[in-house]
Structure 1
Amino acid sequence: MEAGFRAAGRKLLMPYTTGGLTDDWVEYLRAFVAAGADAIEVGLPFSDPTLDGPTIQEASDAALARGTTARGILADVTGLDFGVPLVASTYYNLVAHDGPERFCAALRDAGFAGLIVPDLPLDEAGELIAAAEAAGIELALLASVVTPAPRLAQIAERSRGFVYAVSLMGTTGERREVDAASAALVERLKAVTDRPVLHGFGITTPEHAARASRAADGVIVGAALVRRVLDGAGPEEVGGYLATMRRAIDQGA
């Protein structure tokens, strides 16, 4: 995944959706690829998503109410080739339930290339880092605007695939503006790593995506897309909105 990101030759766009949110949720992945996604983050829903705001929480609840399971999501995409890497994101409770080795092997077998576990502290990540590496899964770690310099360097060094720059102190969700401190965080990360740095949290509009990607190597877009799915928008409509972000990034970079 990281090698592909380096070779992309453009700013990266990673959309997010909650796996199993609708009967046709896989069609949203295809729409994202058609809109210019470089990778796709697939959320494995969890009942207590502490880092997520109201939109992703609502999506997780809706997916779970439909009977969605992590294994079911993996089964839905197994054998499918989307042409871009799939990155799973979930909370450590689901990893611990299976055990890191089994969990990472299941991701690999389903065709995933990466993993994000936002509630896993760096000091407790050793076992999962080792299991992910053994399975060929790139575990991306998160850094925030208040992460001190020594820890920032450790996060950057132990992260694989990319480093996830959390742009604000708070939960995921749509925002009116991109936090000004996020650009400083990206610059701090770039000073200690040559891995791609992706800006996440609060990317809501094409203007946000273009502005954030000027400093970062790319952006992660979640709640703005999931909100549209929850409101009934189909794959073509949601993909069309993502395409406006792709154009804004390419024109504004």
Structure 2
Amino acid sequence: MTRIDQTFARLRAEGRKAFVTYIMGGDPTFETSLEVMKGLPAAGVDIIELGMCFTDPMADGPTIQAAGQRALDHGMNTDRVFEMVRAFRTADDSTPIVLMGYYNPVYARGVDRFLAEAKEAGIDGLIIVDLPPEEDSELCLPAQAAGLNFIRLATPTTDAARLPQVLQNTSGFVYYVSINGITGSAAPTADSVGPEVARIKAATDLPVVVGFGISTPEAAEVMAGVGDGCVVGSAIVKLIGEGRPAAEVLARVAELAEGAHRG
């Protein structure tokens, strides 16, 4: 079992939902980003999604695009992402870390090298948003052979014919994108998300975590309530982009976590 599997097993035993947060690695600087990352578990975060900055983030909205550019401007790269994870792991060997990003940086590094370094650094899973199931042999299957979960996204447009392909080699959890569009878009509703989550859960034993458009503790509670947890990203990245101190960012994260854990 990976740390992700262990975390969901523990949460199920405790009767709690998962609170997952996204931050961009190196935003706005390596040091500030690491400070926030180190504080996330104590603020109530169960799983950390760590963004890999990329020059062409086609699935991301303006908030996360800007975060990636800030990180790039301060010299963030794949080496430094791994360095950040290693630094986090010196004090925390239990919180799962999922790298989220695009395939180009993985391909440029070489799949075998990337996976070996990710595993050594202490990464538990990957979300690579621009690799469809038809390309599972490219990264998904090698990642799972290396002991990493490969987490796939399902969306409102993933119909009954497509869903089995999406789920076929997915592990860890399914990330349900609750709205059509880019990150940071309009808030989803339980009426629209609930039936879709139920449809996915009928087809898999994996946990289903709901993300996109969640920015308040109330929304986190509702979305965690219809799934096995929720993801908050842009709302946190926005505070970092405004230059808020790490303590203020983490205080807001704690409020969001309380909402998610009530779900």
Number of aligned residue pairs: give it: 252
Q: Which of the residues 132, 139, 149 maps onto 1:128?
A: 139
Local SS of the residue matching 1:16? strand
State the shift of 1:179 in Å. 7.2
Q: For residue 213 of structure 2, what is the aligned residue in structure 1?
A: 202
Q: For residue 16 of structure 1, what is the aligned residue in structure 2?
A: 22
| Change in CA separation of 1:179 and 1:216 when aligned onto 2, cut-off 3 Å | closer
State the shift of 1:76 in Å. 2.3
User: Per-residue CA shift, 1:150-192, capped at 9, x if unaligned?
Assistant: 3212322311110010111100015345474322221111111
Contact 1:166/1:182 (CA < 8 Å) preserved in 2?
Answer: no
Alpha-carbon distance in 2 for matches of 1:103, 1:185: 34
Q: Which of the residues 65, 80, 88 maps onto 1:72?
A: 80
State the shift of 1:131 in Å. 1.3
Normalised by the length of structure 2, the TM-score is 0.91
Code of the aligned partner of 1:96: Y
Alpha-carbon distance in 1 for matches of 2:84, 2:160: 41
Local SS of the residue matching 1:161? coil
Local SS of the residue matching 2:138? helix
State the Cα RMSD in Å.
Answer: 1.5
Contact 1:178/1:202 (CA < 8 Å) preserved in 2?
Answer: no
Code of the aligned partner of 1:28: V
Q: Which of the residues 184, 191, 204 maps onto 1:193?
A: 204
1:29 maps onto 2:32 in alignment: no
Matches within 5 A, 1:234-253: 234-251=245-262, 253=263
Code of the aligned partner of 1:92: Y
Code of the aligned partner of 1:88: L
| Change in CA separation of 1:174 and 1:146 when aligned onto 2, cut-off 3 Å | closer
Normalised by the length of structure 1, the TM-score is 0.95
Query: Mind listing any 5+ residue stretches in structure 1 that lack a counterpart?
Result: none
Code of the aligned partner of 1:236: A
Q: For residue 3 of structure 1, what is the aligned residue in structure 2?
A: 6
Farther off after superposition, 223-232 or 134-143: 134-143
Q: Which of the residues 62, 79, 100 maps onto 2:111?
A: 100
Contact 1:174/1:223 (CA < 8 Å) preserved in 2?
Answer: no
Farther off after superposition, 124-133 or 226-235: 124-133
User: Per-residue CA shift, 1:39-91, capped at 9, x if unaligned?
Assistant: 10000100000000000000001100111101112112214243301110110
Farther off after superposition, 94-103 or 211-220: 94-103
